[in-house]
Amino acid sequence: MSTFSGPPPLLDALTRLGARAGQRASHARGYCAVGHFAPHADIARFAASPLLGDGPLPATMRFSVGGGDPEASEKTRNLRGMALRLHSLHGAYDLVLVSEPIFFAATPVSYLSYLEAHAPDPRTGAADPQRIAAHQLRHPDTLRLPALLAAHAAPASYATTPYYSTHAFLFTGADGVARPARIVAEPAAGTCYLSAAQERELPHAFLEHEMDERLLQGPIRFQLHAQLPAPADPLDDPSMPWQGSARVPLGVLLISALADNSCDAMTFVPTRLPAGITATDDPMLRARSGVYASASLARRR
């Protein structure tokens, strides 16, 4: 297995898992939406960011299915994503959230090993079980997310799944204290997964129509929280679920309409942060940002 030496090998490994030319290496299938984010009235006590003090902020979102296949079935038991950009005169803030509370791997090395182990063998068109088994022995951190995904069906709607940052960030409040937290977006409609009958009978593409029909009844609402860590929760390992139960309200995200596909040209970078919010030393966070910000956009062009 090759070792990690920056964004290109990680992106190459994602591409070998099935990314299409001109498409995103990951989360290729998706839909754009627009709305706004209304920060909580007391948000400055936790995050004294000028951007978040601007009142309701226009928001551009992209909802997506994990993987590099733009025609992937929307019934697959894979990650769902909500990438979100908040706009302000004070800059922009990207939130890159997924539908499980942990990421694939703890480090770039173990993530690269995971991608390489699951890449199809050119001779057979399928992944080598022995290579996967050897990888799992070396990197047991990559077993956690697949177990969560297999434990339930796919979301019944983009509006009925929670989304998580998986990475921790440092939020500096009005008192000047920086506090670590992960971000959670809770759906007002509750969490709902496909039934066994829906898994069998729904078409492979149903999420855009479902969201369009739902929006006819009014905006889709998410409550954003900052999840605070318990004393033993790691700040630099996104493959580990946090045990901390305390949450700080950040505000409400309202999705008002689906949009054209212009957000497909956007690159959402998890370290595009406003003043008052900074990245932790999580190596996986920095590696993902490097891939998204440089190599991924250049490869799509």
d(CA 197, CA 195): 5
Tell me how far the alpha carbon of residue 70 is from its chain's centroid: 17
CB 33 within 8 Å of CB 222: no
Tell me how far the alpha carbon of residue 51 is from its chain's centroid: 22
Name the DSSP class of 193: B
- The reply to whether 27 belongs to the active site is yes
- Choose, from 27, 36, 135, 167, the residue flagged as catalytic: 27
**111 annotated binding-site participant:** no
Residue 115: name the closest of 7, 241, 243 by CA: 7
DSSP for 208-234, please give it. Answer: HHHHHHHHTTS-EEEEEEEEPPPTT--
Helix (H) or strand (E) holding 257: strand 247-258
The CA-atom distances, in angstroms, between 96 and each of 59, 62, 119, 120, 272 are: 13, 10, 24, 28, 10
Residue 14: name the closest of 6, 2, 24, 4 by CA: 24
Q: Indicate which residues carry an active-site annotation.
A: 27
| Residues annotated in a binding site | 292
| Residues annotated in a binding site for heme | 292
